[in-house]
Amino acid sequence: MSLGGDVCVVTGACGFLGKRLVRLLLEEEKMTEIRLLDRHVQPQILQTLQDCRGDTKLSVFEGDIQDSDFVRKACRGASVVFHIASLIDVKESLEYSEVYGVNVKGTQLLLEACIQENVGSFIYTSTIEVMGPNPRGEPIVNGSEDTTYESTLKFSYSKTKKEAEQRTLQAHGEVLQNGGRLATCALRPMYIYGEGCRFLLGHMADGIRNGNVLFRMSLPEARVNPVYVGNVAVAHLQAARSLKDPQKRNAIGGRFYFISDDTPPVSYSDFNHVMMSPLGFSIQEKLPMPLHLLYVMCFFVEMLCKMLQPFIRIVPPLNRQLLTMLNTPFSFSYQRAQRDLGYNPRYTWEEARKSTIDWLASELPKERERKTAK
């Protein structure tokens, strides 16, 4: 099922995944219009899309996703919304109200705008973190949508993404103003990597400051399965095509899907090393101290920061929940998305790795220059 002739809205269109999805839509679908919704749309992003734009109109919508009039205007006349925008915060550096406002309130306003403006399809970009891991660090290996797991979410990010996902799925079947019905689904990608990944850049910068030695914060056996950004974009396109198909619409509507690919399972720290070893980086052999002592240290640091909070806000670089996430085996299969959505990873592990390393190599001189400047 093609999206040809449709008008779509992409929230977070200037972000890591958003840019990749917009380019994919331009290259593969003869859409009437793609609306780029973000706080600020850089002119250079529009310039990079001109070579594949064709006859598709690119419209810019700059504003706050928490502004109901703004999101309703952006959705007016659209047929599908890809809701990617969110605040990602794994260090608890932002106030909960700020994260909630964007991740939950913004999603709710978008859903309401879809109902008011007769938008038929809504694809929500969720995250593996709505599943966990839980504070006990209980592992999941090659899990599926049917996997049961007792999770008490600690991060503001994971809690708000979970609530936003639930609201999205509950909105499936809502009656639109024109009498039609809204179809929704949610995609739960693993940790997304690829060209433009700011987390990889951050780890590379830390490695440069540490004499080209990457920090180890994950045990080697704490394997996860990262997913390449190009394959996540493909999954979004397949979800939109499936929601448009009358025969699939009700079968997948109101459901969530894990999105992974054939990237080999590996710990977060070792994944950084896989990507950066060709650039001359090594990695610490062991954690800076035994894992149980790291938890104790994080506990005391968190308590100290909490005591000082009335006077000064200090965000520690590591907390217990982040340490748990980095050291819990947590991997999931994409078989359900393959079966229901027709999703198949387009980029092999070899292609994804090469593209990511090439991009990191192009960024390396800039990162070294920043270190020298400091």
What is the Cα–Cα distance from 189 to 235, expressed in whole angstroms? 9
Closest alpha carbon to 142 in 320, 333, 281:
333
pLDDT above 80 (res 91): no
In a domain, residue 170? The reply is: yes
Q: Quick check: is 157 catalytic?
A: yes
Token couple for 167: 């609201």
Q: What is the mean pLDDT of residues 273-287?
A: 96
What is the Cα–Cα distance from 139 to 223, expressed in whole angstroms? 10
N residues, the chain: 374
What is the Cα–Cα distance from 168 to 267, expressed in whole angstroms? 31
DSSP assignment string, 327-343: TS-EEE--HHHHHHH--
pLDDT at 338: 97
CATH code for position 175: 3.40.50.720
- Confidence label for 374 from pLDDT (cuts 50, 70 and 90): low
Q: List phi, psi (to 5°) of 81.
A: -120, 130
pTM above the 0.85 mark? Answer: yes
User: Coil, strand, or helix at residue 267?
Assistant: coil
Q: What is the mean pLDDT of residues 162-173?
A: 96
Distance of CA 2 to the CA centre of its chain: 25
In a domain, residue 234? The reply is: yes
Phi-psi sector, 287: left (phi>0), alpha (psi -120 to 50), beta: beta
- Confidence label for 94 from pLDDT (cuts 50, 70 and 90): confident
Mean of the per-residue pLDDT values of the chain: 92
Q: What is the mean pLDDT of residues 152-163?
A: 89
In a domain, residue 282? The reply is: no
pLDDT at 370: 80
Quote the number of domains for the chain: 1
**8-state DSSP, 224:** B
- Confidence label for 2 from pLDDT (cuts 50, 70 and 90): confident
Indicate the helix (H) or strand (E) that contains 36: strand 33-38
In a domain, residue 73? The reply is: yes
What is the Cα–Cα distance from 96 to 321, expressed in whole angstroms? 16
pLDDT at 54: 77
In a domain, residue 132? The reply is: yes
Tracing tokens 């990262």 back to the chain, one arrives at 226
**Residue bearing the bigger pLDDT, 310 or 237:** 237
End-to-end CA distance of the chain: 53
Give residue-wise pLDDT tens across range 110-138: 999 999 999 999 999 999 999 999 988 99
- Confidence label for 55 from pLDDT (cuts 50, 70 and 90): confident
In a domain, residue 257? The reply is: yes
Residue 52 domain boundaries? 7-197+226-264+330-348
Give residue-wise pLDDT tens across range 329-361: 999 999 999 999 999 999 999 999 999 999 999
In a domain, residue 127? The reply is: yes
Catalytic, out of 96, 100, 149, 157? 157
Indicate the helix (H) or strand (E) that contains 98: helix 96-100
pLDDT above 70 (res 373): no
pLDDT at 41: 84
Token couple for 20: 């990749």
In a domain, residue 274? The reply is: no
Q: What is the mean pLDDT of residues 41-45?
A: 81
- Confidence label for 150 from pLDDT (cuts 50, 70 and 90): confident
pLDDT at 305: 84
Give residue-wise pLDDT tens across range 303-318: 888 888 888 888 888 8
Sequence-separated (6 or more) residues with CB below 8 Å from residue 190: 128, 224, 225, 226, 227, 258, 259, 260, 331, 332
pLDDT above 80 (res 20): yes
**Residue bearing the bigger pLDDT, 92 or 129:** 129
What is the Cα–Cα distance from 11 to 323, expressed in whole angstroms? 30
Q: For the chain, what percent of residues have pLDDT higher than 90?
A: 74
pLDDT above 70 (res 240): yes
Largest CA distance in the chain: 63
**Residue bearing the bigger pLDDT, 122 or 57:** 122
